[in-house]
């Protein structure tokens, strides 16, 4: 995945005790390998990439936001953010009481053109924007309403908590092209194939085959981001056929890798 083999550049975390207003904006130009240490805060964070790919890592899983997608991080969730290449990131911090409608857990959301423009306008407001019945406060309310309606997409990878399954997944993350079968993994883990299948489904919500396919497709994002062609991305994540890779990508995400604009 994007962190493997990278030189990471530490990125400062805003030192805020509380948000001065219901919403707080942060615009950043990030260098390749920018990274924040694992942290949490008492407000929701919604970050999206104008360019580049954001990777958000938590104990429960990994979440990736290519251009024009964003990651929703609930208040209190420990996370770190990594960019493999240069990226333009826009973040909106939301007081938790303003987002009580949101389900628990991190999610990757498709950012609509309207939300992009609203965030762009909001980033130009002063930190302590006018409240009450002001144009600024009305813009904030519209933005909150629109965030509530964003659709979730499949740029996430749940991770198991079971120690032996977590070790298996870590090995696959390090080597996406690893081709051992479910039976071979079961033998290495000293359990039956049936037990491994049931345990993997319970821990991740996905079949072993489905999880590995998603992991491979997500791992190809950083390859595409670095300017590689679709064929190179396909081979680099374990596909022998470019057409099979494109078909699998479209089947999972609803669009082709070429449409990402990386």
CA pair distance 142, 192, nearest whole angstrom: 53
- Read off the pLDDT of each residue in 132-159 and give the average, rounded to a whole number: 93
Q: Under a CB-based contact definition with an 8 Å cutoff, are residues 199 and 162 in contact?
A: yes
Which pLDDT score, from 0 to 100, does residue 10 have?
67
Least confident range of 5-14, 191-200, 212-221: 5-14
Which pLDDT score, from 0 to 100, does residue 261 have?
64
Token duo for residue 194: 């049936």
State the helix-helix crossing angle for 208-225 and 193-204, rounded to 10 degrees: 60
pLDDT (tens digit per residue) in 174-212: 888 888 899 999 999 999 999 999 999 999 999 999 999
Which pLDDT score, from 0 to 100, does residue 104 have?
84
Token duo for residue 213: 């396919």
Computed over every residue of the chain, the mean pLDDT equals 88
170: Cα within 13 Å, side-chain hemisphere: 8
User: What number of residues does the chain have?
Assistant: 262
Does pLDDT of 244 surpass 60?
Answer: yes
Domains recognised in the chain with CATH numbers: 9-153 (2.60.120.280), 159-260 (1.10.10.60)
Which pLDDT score, from 0 to 100, does residue 5 have?
47
Range 188-210 burial, b when 16+ CB lie within 10 A, else e = ebebeeeebbebbeebbebebee
Extended beta strands in 40-198, E state: 43-51, 54-57, 61-65, 69-73, 80-83, 87-95, 107-110, 152-153, 156-158
């Amino acid at each position: 995945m994007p962190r493997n083999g990278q030189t990471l550049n530490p990125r400062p975390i805003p030192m805020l005790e509380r948000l001065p207003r219901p919403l707080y904006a942060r615009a950043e130009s990030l260098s390749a390998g920018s990274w924040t240490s694992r942290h949490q805060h008492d407000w929701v964070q919604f970050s999206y990439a104008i360019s580049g790919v954001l990777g958000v890592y938590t104990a429960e899983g990994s979440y990736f936001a290519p251009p024009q997608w964003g990651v929703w991080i609930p208040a209190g969730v420990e996370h770190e953010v990594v960019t493999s290449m240069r990226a333009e990131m826009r973040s909106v911090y939301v007081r938790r009481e303003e987002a009580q409608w949101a389900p628990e857990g991190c999610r990757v959301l498709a950012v609509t053109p309207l939300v992009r423009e609203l965030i762009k306008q909001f980033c130009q407001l002063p930190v302590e924007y006018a409240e009450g019945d002001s144009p600024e406060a009305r813009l904030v309310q519209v933005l909150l309403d629109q965030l509530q309606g964003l659709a979730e997409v499949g740029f996430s990878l749940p991770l198991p908590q079971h120690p032996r399954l977590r070790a298996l997944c870590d090995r696959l993350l390090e080597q996406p092209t690893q081709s051992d079968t479910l039976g071979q993994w079961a033998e290495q883990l000293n359990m039956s194939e049936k037990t491994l299948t049931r345990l993997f489904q319970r821990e991740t919500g996905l079949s072993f085959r489905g999880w590995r396919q998603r992991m491979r497709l997500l791992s190809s994002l950083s390859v595409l981001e670095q300017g590689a062609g679709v064929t190179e991305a396909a081979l680099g994540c374990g596909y022998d056929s470019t057409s099979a890779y494109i078909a699998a990508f479209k089947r999972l995400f609803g669009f082709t890798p070429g449409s990402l604009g990386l």
